Amino acid sequence: MKAAVFHAPHQPLELVDVPTPEPKTGEVLVQVAGCGVCHTDLHYIDHGTPTFKPPPIILGHEVAGTVAEVGAGVTSLTAGARVLIPAVLSCGHCTLCRSGRENICENSQMLGNHIDGGYAEFVAVPAKDIVHMPDDVPLVEGSIIADAVTTPYHAVVRRGRVTPGDWVAVFGCGGVGLSLVQIASAVGGRVIAVDVKDAKLETAKRFGATAVFNAATTKKFDKEIRALSGGGVNVAFEAVGKAVTQEAALNSLITGGRLVLVGYSPETLPLNAGRVMFREIEVLGSLGCRPVDYPRAIEMVRQGHVRLLDLVTHRFPLERIADALDTLRGGDAIRVVVTP
């Protein structure tokens, strides 16, 4: 099969023929219809973030496709089934899995990080967490649900616990941020979106944001947010991954508010603990999404609450994976998908 193989940072992925994987016991072989291109891949390729499995490895963790073959012992799926593969697969038996927190499983396996991913014609994965994709959700664009929709779903519904009427601020309007805007609006939040690009803010408005601020051109936008929301927002989501943005998000909260950290940052966040204590501020991390919530996230797409076709701005065949990565690097695309 054709695959784009990652060998080392600062090198292009190599398009080669590799043996098609055979599904082992409990696994399925999925023919990849689409694989979302994600900033996480750029971290491996451009910034030297190590993959868990040392290279060579096939990257790509947002995969939808059709079951081509089932391994021994698989009864939940049959060949031809339309499926979405969760970006992170859980073990099902660790303490965290058994307490319903599979998204932070101690033995998690991420596609294109622990195991070969979706920049290939086929991928073999454990069948346990694979979810069915309804017929009226397209597979190519639907691939991005595996991260760019489910991660925001978990952040809004499980961690941020947004309820109707809540004021919500979303910092960063990339693929994840724009899904945060749509899902927070869909559950009844009044959403204020913040980004440094006007084009992304216009999209945020079309996706349900009631107000937007350009952080590059608005002075003291955290103060503006507090004024607009009558003292501060109930829930702020940070999807940029920078300490300065996290601080602004914290400053935009009302007393009793929640900051949900969705973007990854290696930096230290300066935190006034007295203020957190006295104002009962909650600071929460949010990682991925529990497999059990995937069907709910898919349903939000199916019902049109998350506008998938507007989120996927670019599509490339696998042969043009280099162009796909460049398009993401350019910063103007919302979401890019490759089609093997």
Using CB under 5 A as the binding rule, whether residue 113 contacts Zn ion is answered as no
Using CB under 5 A as the binding rule, whether residue 324 contacts Zn ion is answered as no
By beta-carbon proximity to Zn ion, the closer residue of 139 and 211 is 139
Q: Which stretch binds Zn ion (CB under 5 A): 146-154, 217-225, 257-265, 290-298?
A: 146-154
Closest distance of CB 306 from Zn ion, Å? 16
Candidates 38, 89, 212, 262; binder of Zn ion (CB under 5 A) is: 38
How many residues in the shown chain lie near Zn ion by CB under 5 A?
8
Using CB under 5 A as the binding rule, whether residue 131 contacts Zn ion is answered as no
Using CB under 5 A, which residues numbered 74 to 93 contact Zn ion? 90-91
By beta-carbon proximity to Zn ion, the closer residue of 147 and 238 is 147
Using CB under 5 A as the binding rule, whether residue 146 contacts Zn ion is answered as no
Using CB under 5 A as the binding rule, whether residue 105 contacts Zn ion is answered as yes
Using CB under 5 A as the binding rule, whether residue 144 contacts Zn ion is answered as no
Using CB under 5 A as the binding rule, whether residue 42 contacts Zn ion is answered as no
Closest distance of CB 97 from Zn ion, Å? 3
Closest distance of CB 61 from Zn ion, Å? 6
Helix/strand/coil (H, E, C) string of the chain? Answer: CEEEEECCCCCCCEEEECCCCCCCCCEEEEEEEEEEECHHHHHHHHCCCCCCCCCCEECCCEEEEEEEEECCCCCCCCCCCEEEECCEECCCCCHHHHCCCHHHCCCCEEECCCECCCCECEEEEECCCCEECCCCCCHHHHCCHHHHHHHHHHHHHHHCCCCCCCEEEEECCCHHHHHHHHHHHHCCCEEEEEECCHHHHHHHHHCCCCEEEECCCCCCHHHHHHHHCCCCEEEEEECCCCHHHHHHHHHCEEEEEEEEECCCCCCCCCCCHHHHHHCCCEEEECCCCCHHHHHHHHHHHHCCCCCHHHHEEEEEEHHHHHHHHHHHHHCCCCEEEEEC
By beta-carbon proximity to Zn ion, the closer residue of 94 and 137 is 94
By beta-carbon proximity to Zn ion, the closer residue of 43 and 161 is 43
Using CB under 5 A as the binding rule, whether residue 40 contacts Zn ion is answered as yes
Using CB under 5 A as the binding rule, whether residue 156 contacts Zn ion is answered as no
Candidates 1, 5, 42, 94; binder of Zn ion (CB under 5 A) is: 94
Using CB under 5 A as the binding rule, whether residue 312 contacts Zn ion is answered as no
Binding residues for Zn ion, rule: CB under 5 A, are: 38, 40, 90-91, 94, 97, 105, 147
